[in-house]
């Protein structure tokens, strides 16, 4: 029978444990950094490539460092959780000392990349880190504030992408980003609420103060809000005025949101949004369709009936 120490020294299991610890799969969230560069227009894309990649990896490394610190802080609670007990630190596949070194390395690397992008980018990632400190210190124990805090992190990701290439991002796109993050956050709380039954407060204090009805309502409310905000963005923004065909992307956004809400309510998905993103063919279709339609719209497809 294998032991935690044996798993930690396994040449095969160790890299997988590091990847799991750093939540590399969660880096998909940082694709929001690409929003501003994508919609800035094709003429600027080549010059935006390097700073955009730097911003993406900066946020990815910093978010990984916060995951490590969170796991170190919550290790005892995680060991009581039906799913989180398999996390590397909680299961013993990675020691606390090694996790600390990896967390520091990600933290330093992320800050270095942000500093190379300029003061605005550095200020955004420092704000992100400050909010993560507040979250781990107190806000994660407070219902609504816990999800709201995390949604601000998504908005900052979109802002970082704009700051890295020194453009202004649409307020409607930020509203959509925040609403989408709130939907994902409340869907995750809903999944945890159901999964953990009556003993839910043992792993997350805020869950004891939620109700199934409230979580259902908030998932639906913010899903609708995200769709509406994006719809407005595609008809009433500088990008929409310059590239009217961008409205085509809304079809995939609406379908993706609807599919996600369906999975949340029909099969109680939503515990790990990244897992849904990578395993559900409908969500994958929506993401691919969104990027393809955005590129088509930005590279000159005209819809005469939408043009003045």
**Does a structural domain hold residue 5?**
no
Coil/strand/helix, residue 199? helix
pLDDT at site 215: 93
Average pLDDT for 81-94: 81
Quote the distance between the C-alpha of residue 182 and its chain's center: 11
Shared domain for 199 and 123, answered yes or no, is no
Residues 159 and 25 in one domain: yes
pLDDT value at 58 more than 60: yes
What is the Cα–Cα distance from 283 to 129, expressed in whole angstroms?
30
For residue 3, tell me if it sits in a domain: no
**Based on the domain organization, do 19 and 165 belong to the same domain?**
yes
If one counts the domains in the chain, the total is: 2
CATH code of residue 75: 1.10.357.140
Provide the pLDDT confidence category of residue 70 given band limits of 50, 70 and 90.
Answer: confident
- Considering the domain architecture, whether residues 96 and 160 belong to the same structural domain is answered as yes
Residue 6 lies in a domain: no
Residue 117 falls in which region: left (phi positive, over 0), alpha (psi -120 to 50) or beta: alpha
Take residue 181 and report the two structure tokens written for it.
């993050």
Q: Which of 142, 169, 196 represents a domain boundary (last residue)?
A: 169
Contact by Cβ (8 Å): 255, 286: yes
Angle in degrees, 0-180, between the axes of helices 249-267 and 281-298, rounded to the nearest 10: 170
pTM score above 0.85: no
For residues 28 and 164, membership in a common domain is answered with yes
Residues 16 and 164 in one domain: yes
Structure tokens at 142: 């407070």
Judged by DSSP in three states, 280 sits in: coil
My answer on whether 186 and 150 are in the same domain is: no
Query: Is there a single domain that holds both residue 24 and residue 163?
Result: yes
Q: Which residue has the higher pLDDT, 50 or 203?
A: 50
Q: What is the chain's mean pLDDT, rounded?
A: 85
- Residue that is last in its domain, among 169, 202, 222: 169
Q: Do both 127 and 179 map to the same domain?
A: no
9 in Cβ contact with 93 (< 8 Å): no
Is residue 7 a part of any domain in this protein?
A: no
Mark whether 164 and 92 lie in a shared domain: yes
Q: In terms of residue numbers, what domain contains 233?
A: 174-308
Q: Are 211 and 163 contained in the same domain?
A: no
Whats the size of the chain, residue-wise? Answer: 308
Per-residue pLDDT of 210-246, as tens digits, reads 888 999 999 999 999 999 999 999 999 888 888 889 9
Q: Which residue has the tokens 């109680």?
A: 268
Instruction: Please tell me whether residues 154 and 31 are part of one structural domain.
Output: yes
Q: Which residue among 145, 169, 193 closes a domain?
A: 169
Confidence of residue 300 (pLDDT cuts 50, 70, 90): low
């Amino acid at each position: 029978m294998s032991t935690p120490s044996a798993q930690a020294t396994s040449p095969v299991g160790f890299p997988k444990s590091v990847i799991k610890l750093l939540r590399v799969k969660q880096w998909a969230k940082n694709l929001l950094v690409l929003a501003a560069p994508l919609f800035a227009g094709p003429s600027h894309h080549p010059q935006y490539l390097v700073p955009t990649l730097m911003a993406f990896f900066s946020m990815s490394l910093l978010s990984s460092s916060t995951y490590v610190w969170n796991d170190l802080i919550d290790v005892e609670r995680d060991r009581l959780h039906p799913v989180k007990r398999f996390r590397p630190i909680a299961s013993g596949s990675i020691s606390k000392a090694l996790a600390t070194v990896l967390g520091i390395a990600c933290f330093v690397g992320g800050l270095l990349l942000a500093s190379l992008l300029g003061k605005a980018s550095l200020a955004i990632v420092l704000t992100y880190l400050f909010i993560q400190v507040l979250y781990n210190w107190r806000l994660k124990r407070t219902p609504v504030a816990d999800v709201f805090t995390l949604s601000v992190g998504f908005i900052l990701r979109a802002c970082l992408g704009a700051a890295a290439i020194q453009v202004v991002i649409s307020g409607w796109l930020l509203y959509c980003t925040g609403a989408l993050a709130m939907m994902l956050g409340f869907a995750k709380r809903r999944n945890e609420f159901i999964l953990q039954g009556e003993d839910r407060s043992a792993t997350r204090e805020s869950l004891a103060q939620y109700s199934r009805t409230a979580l259902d309502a908030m998932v639906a409310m913010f899903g609708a809000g995200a769709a509406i905000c994006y719809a407005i963005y595609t008809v009433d923004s500088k990008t929409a005025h310059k590239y009217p065909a961008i409205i085509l992307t809304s079809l995939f956004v609406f379908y993706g949101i609807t599919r996600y809400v369906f999975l949340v309510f029909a099969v109680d998905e939503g515990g790990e949004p990244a897992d849904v993103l990578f395993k559900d063919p409908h969500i994958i279709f929506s993401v691919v369709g969104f990027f393809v339609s955005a590129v088509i719209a930005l590279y000159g497809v005209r819809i005469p009936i939408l043009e003045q």
